Amino acid sequence: MSLNDLKKENDFTHWKEVDIRYRDLDPLNHVNNAIFNTYFEESRIHFLHSFPELGENLGTDYSFVLVKITIEYKAQVMYPSTLMIGSKILKLGNTSIQTFQSCFDAESKELKATANSILVWYDIHKQRPAKLPELKS
């Protein structure tokens, strides 16, 4: 399955709703491109907490370190509106995880942006990458 195939609403099992805030707007009166990273981050954290094997240790002994993100902007997002962000795992490595997310307007279902991210599971105490736990969910 290519990334182009993952831009439809039915390709995702995990969803996070994000409301647009007035402060997210730029001088052109649409959501600033940098804010999309925050939307994707918030959704990604919510998604990763849905895995008990990750969520129970996330933030205490382990964390994810974002090592790469590629965001493609597809359409403007205006205020007021609500976004739905779908997330899925593309690939699990020994210490890393690759996720893909698509951001849709909640009302029109129009695709607004996509994000492809690579994160490393990081041991906070040892200050180095750690082996990912086996995910059952």
Residue range 76-88, pLDDT digits in tens: 999 999 999 999 9
Token duo for residue 91: 């690939």
d(CA 133, CA 96): 11
Residue with the two structure tokens 């997310």: 101
Residue 78: count other Cβ atoms within 10 Å of its Cβ: 13
Nearest by Cα to 132 from 62, 42, 50 = 62
More confident residue, 132 or 55: 132
Phi-psi domain of 48 (left: phi exceeds 0; alpha: psi -120 through 50; beta: other): alpha
- Residues 12-44 pLDDT 10s: 989 999 999 999 999 999 999 999 999 999 999
Residues 37-52: pLDDT tens digits?
999 999 999 999 999 9
